[in-house]
Structure 1
């Protein structure tokens, strides 16, 4: 099938290439405005109790969570509760456009003690914007931001909308910075790898075409459903990285065919039958892995699935269409603009891999046992990790938006802290809730040993009653979680519904929703790996081993990330703030790293199985596979490390977490695991590697998917 496709593309090369260029141009033009269509949030389970509590609060303007918290500070020697200061701020807030602001609640209206600082110099205005979603609120904030600043009054704007605006701006800068750094470095490395400019430019061109189309498709998807803006970063990272990797494998195989004297069109046909087939299988495995993110209720994870699946699918499509068309057009000119120094070094490129393969084959036990012991050590920190949701700490230390939130939490703990929100809601037909009943619930909450204080933050006229329960320690700590569980165990009065929300409750509910679906994710990942690798190689042993190796690589990566980002080792050097892992990012990385690990397994095993199908015994086939694929796999991993490494420079800690995790995972997988551990295990298993029940083998051969 792939050979026939290669012949078709070679014959219709001009039409195929022109079509892909037109599609990429249209996609890239439409995708210019992709960030404007993106949203933020979506980290919570929309069906959870914590989200229902938030919705109950939002249903009444008097209790709705403010989008902007404006902190107004009086000059030295004056107080914020003076009539003069109140008139100055009140006049400015009264001029806010009605269409842009749904409600404004201030200290001067309510005289609520939690809205003024202890020293009396600062007071708050809680502003709820009129937008229906994040994008609309961001646009409104940009229009009214200047009006919220009062002349002659110290003003600080914080809250969810300003923090989201800061994260959005940083995300855009990070994407342009990452790709601006990655592309020149990748181009240089490809010139070193191929020894020439023309061959090196093709994978980069494939990457550019892929990302251009991906941005356009993401904008289309965002017009239909909510898409978190981190999907753009993921699409850029995977689209560029995988397209370059796929381009590297295909161009390398084409040049190998040409070096053997095969004519250009036949070389394209053979390349598609071998490297093209391998790219298709590996991309399918990675897409299936990313599709498991759709199992989870959080729209953040769904968004990352859209971005990742789009990018990988397009990378494979472009690599299997535009790239072979380019190769057919170029023919022998693929080696134009050679750099002799790099090219001359390429003559000895198999010497190292031959020695390595011989060494592994001679002492497989001595190679595998120490590696497994070190991997177990790397995995151990992950056994004690903690999970949480992203907050202002994803921004760099010293960022104005982060500093504003931290100052608010210190001066106004009832508003700025990660408190537990206790929401009481009754039957709307029965009128306001009974004061004695709500007070009794507050007393019960206050009497809990995990709770240190309770503040009522809802006005008397509100349709729902909201209490803020405080606790000792962090939002992801044991005290906070125990407090949420204890409050949820309280029996409310008849006719009253008690809902518990806040950061800790959101984290607990999201973690429960994800852990409930993790077994299904694991079943799909393992099942897809088994089926696709069996169809590719005709063995049931190789897929099982591949899944185990992917799981080991993944666990070791999470162990290292826990050691750095949660336990804080080297956090100062990396300029990150130790905090719990975001469970959604963990699930994303699980899908990506598992898929990439299996990806490199496919490239290695393809060459081993190809050698064995030509009559080589197991040991010779392993040695041949290592020699033929070792340099290309290592080069592919290095290129992807450069792309992901650029994201490790991000100002957003979440992206830095992903970048550093990908760097470690790729380096570990492409070297230690793929070039040492896997070959040693294959050697130890011997002929058992190729075993499959007779009926299954006949089915696989009938499908003509093996070498």
Structure 2
């Protein structure tokens, strides 16, 4: 299969590249339009009670308030005549804005609940359409002359600030990641031409992802955050796959092959590895489609598209480029760190060769192994339990903070305090008795009698954490009606339905806020009616349920699919199980570290965030991305170990050789990919910081402790069982498994002390995979 593919690519390389160029131009044109179609939010379950309640409030009552203007007196109180006049004028001005409705304020009869405790600030609240929200928020975010200052808050402002910050953070991350990545690639390849190829492959993947998002956004909701993943994953996988392909091609050239034979061998070996690697990443990403929030579905759309395009580019277009370049892939050589390592290795190899006598004429001209990684594998396998068990203990220790993890949906506190919507949220929580932006929306459909509705509102106001209840039958606090129905009460009633706002006196994201939502749902409903409870706390309860209820299914699907793919790749039953268990250890450690940093607050000052519960969708996203990328490196390593094993080498030698010939590639790829994701930690949105830092940590742990220690330790203990499968499964693998590989050429191993640092791949001593 891969030999035929390689023959086709080398037969018409210019045709392949022309088609690739056409695709790139089309994807660029299509992808530019994606940004105007992507949406904020997407963390809720659209079929949950809270979402259904929000839809009814939007369709039948004009929507719950989502814009809060914090109006602060420059001097005096909000009851001073000049401030009162300014407040009334501001409310009237806001009511005239396009897309704005339901304006209420402290100065227009909404009550003292919209005035701060010390009376130096008051609120104007309104509902604004999504299409007009950004423009309205931007207008009132500007400095204003006069006796008051105005700051926009509420969900309309929070979503705008998050969207703007994510866009800024993405640009900053790219400014950090791309130059650093390019420098590291030049060091890794010691040549500008070879270093440019991974960036080219990554760029094609990114453009393909943007184009896919543009098309998908025409049919369904897609989150703006998918852009971040498309960029990071495209760049990272482009580096992974191109590094693997280019290194193998240079190795084949070094083995005195002509460029056509080198290209065919490269596609047949590295191309097969990339195909399985990409498949494991796609499977891991596809699992996010089982979760209802379109934030996670959007990440799946972006990730699958980027992985597929990057994989095909690496297997089709890149070999065509390599075939045309031939030896010129090593053009524009650059000396540096790798050159230093190569000269040291060459000097030791020359000394060893002088002592041993002349080398056989048929030996390859170049070393193909990392002495450091062979030494690591050898030492680990000499005492596998002694070296492996402490690593397992360390990963379990890092995972320990998971035992006290808590979750929330994103609110203004994911932003840094400098953002206006975050500042408004802090004031609402500290200076106002009730948090109107965190109100529960209790929708009652049917025709309950006024007395029954009054009893229901009274019962709601008695619930722990309920500050007050606003309704069509008046205002209630602590089980008593505190105000009769007034002009503002009319907005709570329509034909066949009414709704009540339960304004909490507690943080709606807290455990007490969630208990309030559950208690409201547990109350007996008025006779002849049905009730849906929505609002901030209800969203959080439903969001946790949507994730938690489907998590076992997701874990089962990703484990089953990974097992099947790795079995088809290796023909082993034990190796896929080993990979799943070790990945689980790494992911547990990463989530534990995330809890320690982002929930418990360690490193908060350094990274500039406010500690708080983990966002409900982030662990799922982190799990799927990290699992897929970990399997990426698992396939890299197992591919070479299996190649050596199939060539007849004993188990321990096959493992040592496999790690020696992939160690540099995995280390380099992991370092570059970690830089790409860690760049997101430079941003100012807490959940994106967690995603970037957590993914980078997972990659580094996997490439070092897992691939360097746990895999060789496990495979040494398992021995022949590594490749065992029941007879029916062996029969199945013989017929449907892909086992095409190139003959293994003898390797020239450069002797070196075990303490020699792991260098990056040399242009003349590439790792063989």
Same fold, judged at TM 0.5 (above): yes
For the residues of structure 2 that align with 1:616 and 1:424, how far apart are their CA atoms? 70
- After superposition, residues 261-280 of structure 1 pair within 5 angstroms as 261-280=256-275
State the SS of the aligned residue for 1:125: strand
1:641, 1:662 within 8 Å by CA — same for their partners in 2?
Answer: yes
Question: For residue 523 of structure 1, what is the aligned residue in structure 2?
Answer: 556
Question: For residue 622 of structure 1, what is the aligned residue in structure 2?
Answer: 655
Deviation at 1:307, TM superposition (A): 1.2
State the SS of the aligned residue for 1:460: helix
Deviation at 1:664, TM superposition (A): 1.1
Mean Cα deviation higher: 641-650 or 500-509: 500-509
For the residues of structure 2 that align with 1:345 and 1:10, how far apart are their CA atoms? 34
Tell me whether 1:460 sits opposite 2:489 in the alignment: yes
State the SS of the aligned residue for 1:569: coil
- After superposition, residues 11-90 of structure 1 pair within 5 angstroms as 11-61=11-61, 64-77=63-76, 79-80=78-79, 82=81, 85-86=84-85, 89-90=88-89
Deviation at 1:138, TM superposition (A): 4.0
Deviation at 1:500, TM superposition (A): 2.4
- After superposition, residues 228-247 of structure 1 pair within 5 angstroms as 228-247=223-242
Tell me whether 1:423 sits opposite 2:428 in the alignment: no
For the residues of structure 2 that align with 1:343 and 1:258, how far apart are their CA atoms? 19
1:380-433: per-residue Cα shift (whole Å, max 9, x none)?
1112201110111111232232112212333344344534x1514242xx4xx5
1:27, 1:212 within 8 Å by CA — same for their partners in 2?
Answer: yes
Question: For residue 309 of structure 1, what is the aligned residue in structure 2?
Answer: 304
Question: For residue 455 of structure 2, what is the aligned residue in structure 1?
Answer: 440
Question: For residue 122 of structure 2, what is the aligned residue in structure 1?
Answer: 123
CA 1:168–1:469: 2 relative to 1, 3 Å = closer
State the SS of the aligned residue for 2:502: strand
State the SS of the aligned residue for 2:738: coil
CA 1:138–1:241: 2 relative to 1, 3 Å = farther
Question: For residue 566 of structure 1, what is the aligned residue in structure 2?
Answer: 599
1:352-383: per-residue Cα shift (whole Å, max 9, x none)?
11211211121111111111111111111112
For the residues of structure 1 that align with 2:147 and 2:82, how far apart are their CA atoms? 15
1:158-202: per-residue Cα shift (whole Å, max 9, x none)?
222222111111111111221222111111111111121111111
For the residues of structure 2 that align with 1:91 and 1:567, how far apart are their CA atoms? 41
For the residues of structure 2 that align with 1:254 and 1:331, how far apart are their CA atoms? 9
2:461, 2:502 within 8 Å by CA — same for their partners in 1?
Answer: no
State the SS of the aligned residue for 1:127: strand
1:286-308: per-residue Cα shift (whole Å, max 9, x none)?
11111111111111111111111
For the residues of structure 1 that align with 2:27 and 2:694, how far apart are their CA atoms? 30
For the residues of structure 2 that align with 1:384 and 1:146, how far apart are their CA atoms? 38
Mean Cα deviation higher: 117-126 or 635-644: 117-126
Could you say which structure has the higher helix fraction?
Answer: 1
When the two chains are superposed, the root-mean-square deviation of aligned CA atoms in Å is: 2.3
State the SS of the aligned residue for 1:577: coil
For the residues of structure 2 that align with 1:685 and 1:147, how far apart are their CA atoms? 67
Which of 280, 287, 290 aligns to 1:285? It is 280
- After superposition, residues 49-448 of structure 1 pair within 5 angstroms as 49-61=49-61, 64-77=63-76, 79-80=78-79, 82=81, 85-86=84-85, 89-90=88-89, 93-94=92-93, 97=96, 99-129=98-128, 131=129, 134=130, 136-141=131-136, 145=140, 152-341=147-336, 342-343=338-339, 345-346=341-342, 348=345, 350-416=370-436, 418-419=438-439, 421-427=440-446, 430=447, 434-448=449-463
1:671-702: per-residue Cα shift (whole Å, max 9, x none)?
00111111110000000000011222122122
1:74, 1:80 within 8 Å by CA — same for their partners in 2?
Answer: no
For the residues of structure 1 that align with 2:659 and 2:521, how far apart are their CA atoms? 58
CA 1:100–1:444: 2 relative to 1, 3 Å = closer
For the residues of structure 2 that align with 1:75 and 1:183, how far apart are their CA atoms? 46
CA 1:76–1:99: 2 relative to 1, 3 Å = closer
TM-score normalised according to structure 2 size: 0.86
Mean Cα deviation higher: 112-121 or 6-15: 112-121
Question: For residue 750 of structure 2, what is the aligned residue in structure 1?
Answer: none
Deviation at 1:625, TM superposition (A): 0.3
1:211, 1:311 within 8 Å by CA — same for their partners in 2?
Answer: yes
For the residues of structure 1 that align with 2:505 and 2:134, how far apart are their CA atoms? 36
2:457, 2:500 within 8 Å by CA — same for their partners in 1?
Answer: no
2:278, 2:632 within 8 Å by CA — same for their partners in 1?
Answer: yes
Deviation at 1:139, TM superposition (A): 5.0
- After superposition, residues 432-581 of structure 1 pair within 5 angstroms as 434-448=449-463, 450-451=464-465, 453-456=467-470, 459-461=488-490, 462-463=492-493, 464-472=498-506, 474-581=507-614
Mean Cα deviation higher: 226-235 or 358-367: 358-367
Aligned residues: 695
For the residues of structure 1 that align with 2:577 and 2:141, how far apart are their CA atoms? 60
Deviation at 1:82, TM superposition (A): 4.5
For the residues of structure 2 that align with 1:365 and 1:504, how far apart are their CA atoms? 48
- Which structure 1 residue ranges, 5 or more long, are not aligned? none
Higher Cα Rg: structure 1 or 2?
2
